[in-house]
């Protein structure tokens, strides 16, 4: 069973990710605020974390950096993290956050499945330009 944690306050983004990834072998959990990401990662130990760039009061970049900090101190096992970006120009932020991959919205099921499959196989997938 594969567990995916999605952090987004957008019902549209949740619906797109859930319909693309959830099946009888994959469960998608959702948090609506960035500040809830780390506690849920610690509790559920998801196989993949997907963070929307814009989430309430703490964005995806800050949540990603917080997870990476905990991993760096050996408090959490390393796991793949993807960011969902609003535009190509945001790829710089994604790179600085040490995410393993990112997609630029709008999202579609094929791209989401490719992202998840690639990251779960320990690869990287970067969509959009890096300046």
- The beta strand positions in the chain, using DSSP E, are 2-7, 26-31, 48-52, 81-85, 101-104, 125-126
Is position 103 within any domain? yes
Is position 14 within any domain? yes
pLDDT higher than threshold 50 for residue 106: yes
Give the pair of three-digit tokens for residue 86.
């609003």
What pLDDT, on the 0 to 100 scale, is given for residue 82? 97
pLDDT digits (tens, 9 = 90+) for 35-92: 999 999 999 999 999 999 999 788 999 999 999 999 999 999 999 999 999 999 998 8
CB 75 within 8 A of CB 51: no
Distance CA 63, CA 67 (A): 6
Domain span including residue 57: 2-126
CATH, residue 12: 3.40.50.2300
User: Cis omega before residue 62 (within 30°)?
Assistant: no
What's the number of domains the chain is made of?
1
Whole-model pTM: value is 0.93
Write the DSSP symbol of residue 107: P
CB 60 within 8 A of CB 84: yes
- Least trusted range by pLDDT, from 20-29, 38-47, 93-102: 93-102
Give the pair of three-digit tokens for residue 104.
């630029």
Give the pair of three-digit tokens for residue 36.
């809830």
């Amino acid at each position: 069973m594969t567990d995916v944690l999605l952090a987004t306050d957008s019902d549209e983004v949740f619906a797109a990710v859930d319909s693309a990834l959830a099946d009888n072998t994959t469960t998608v959990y959702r948090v609506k605020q960035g500040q809830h990401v780390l506690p849920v990662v610690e509790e559920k130990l998801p196989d993949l974390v997907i963070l929307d760039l814009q989430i309430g009061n703490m964005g995806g970049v800050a949540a990603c950096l917080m997870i990476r900090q905990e991993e760096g101190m050996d408090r959490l096992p390393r796991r793949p993290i993807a960011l969902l970006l609003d535009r190509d120009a945001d790829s710089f932020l994604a790179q600085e956050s040490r995410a393993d991959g990112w997609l630029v919205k709008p999202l579609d099921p094929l791209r989401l499945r490719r992202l998840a499959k690639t990251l779960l196989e320990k690869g990287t997938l970067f969509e959009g330009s890096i300046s």
